[in-house]
Amino acid sequence: MNPLSFQAKAQAVFNNEIEALHRTQKKLDHHFDEACEKILACQGRVIVTGIGKSGHIANKIAATFASTGTPSFFVHPAEAQHGDLGMITAQDVILALSYSGKAPEVLALIPHAKRFKIPLICITNDLDSPLAKNSDICLLVDIDKEACPLNLAPTSSTTAMLVLGDALAVGLLNARGFHEENFAIFHPGGNLGKRLLVRVEDLMKTGEDIPVVSPETLLHETVLEISKKRLGMTVIAEKQKVLGVFTDGDLRRAFEKNIDFKKTPVKELLHGKPKALYVGELAAKAAQVMQQFKITALVILNPDETLAGVLHLHALLDSGVL
């Protein structure tokens, strides 16, 4: 088979699965609304289950629910019959996936759901299947055939199930008023969590670690402070009020002008207020400011405009914010 044949097969798979999504989309009706409302009213968790390839999709749907504000976890239907039924309570909702609606392991959960009056929502292709007939709400996956040329391997059907699960998760996300900040709380180790949770005060230098001199400090002493604190700059402040900064770049320009470093106070080289942010602002915003103005350090101020700290580019890199 030449590369063009591979591409032709790939195009056929895409077309088949896109068609499956279109067909399933047309089957959306009031039952989808009822499923969302039932899950939204759930006082416990959404127990997502399925066997085989449907089980893999169910696992992913449970993970998406959990990360978007709907408490959820996956229960393997076979393991459920060997003790894991204890993970399912009367306050939960069960979301069961079975394309045929006849998977014995999934059907075995029905008596437990009925015994404890646990709402059962199913995703299936067959409304006349045992699973559909014993469910409170049924969501239909409608495909003409699998993308597998043998029409055997679950392909288009699992894609449609996955998208239907995503649709549920997003519908619930919107209903709960779930925002980026909420998402970040559940993903503190990811890039989004770092960008939305880490504040400037979490990373900035404070106290004795801040390079700071008074406006009367001579340039040669200012250079010593920059070298000692190793941030490539020093804050110029008087009574904790920031007047400006003196950077490595300012130092080079001073050398070019043949300024006497032992007689010139740093205040003579002040040139406007420095770029600054306030305590409480996101470290991600500091990264944006540094990139925009091509600087490597930012002054951080308290609400009363006094010096709180200095945030350096290296801290953003080390923390993963940038």
pLDDT in tens, 234-291: 999 999 999 999 998 888 988 888 888 999 999 988 877 899 999 999 888 999 999 9
Q: How far apart are CA 117 and CA 109, in angstroms?
A: 12
Q: Are 157 and 146 in contact (CB under 8 A)?
A: yes
The answer, yes or no, to whether residue 187 has pLDDT greater than 60, is: no
Contact partners, residue 198, CB within 8 Å, separation at least 6: 282, 283, 284, 319, 321
Mean pLDDT value across residues 4-11 = 88
Q: Calculate the alpha carbon distances from 83 to 54, 75, 87 in Å.
A: 21, 11, 8
CATH architecture, domain 197-319: Roll (3.10)
Contact partners, residue 158, CB within 8 Å, separation at least 6: 53, 54, 56, 57, 99
For the chain, give every domain's residue range. Answer: 3-178, 197-319
pLDDT tens per residue, range 111-144? 999 999 999 999 999 999 999 999 999 999 999 9
| Residue 83 region by backbone torsions, left for phi larger than 0, else alpha for psi between -120 and 50, else beta | left
The answer, yes or no, to whether residue 320 has pLDDT greater than 90, is: no
Q: Are 254 and 271 in contact (CB under 8 A)?
A: no
pLDDT tens per residue, range 9-49? 999 999 999 999 999 999 999 999 999 999 999 999 999 99
The third-level CATH classification (topology) of the domain covering 3-178 is: Rossmann fold (3.40.50)
The per-residue pLDDT of the chain, averaged, comes to: 91
Question: Would you state the pLDDT for residue 1?
Answer: 62
Which tokens go with 175?
A: 């209903």
Q: How far apart are CA 194 and CA 203, in angstroms?
A: 12
Q: Are 266 and 243 in contact (CB under 8 A)?
A: no
Question: ∠ at Cα 184 (294, 288), nearest 5°?
Answer: 10
Q: Are 299 and 279 in contact (CB under 8 A)?
A: no
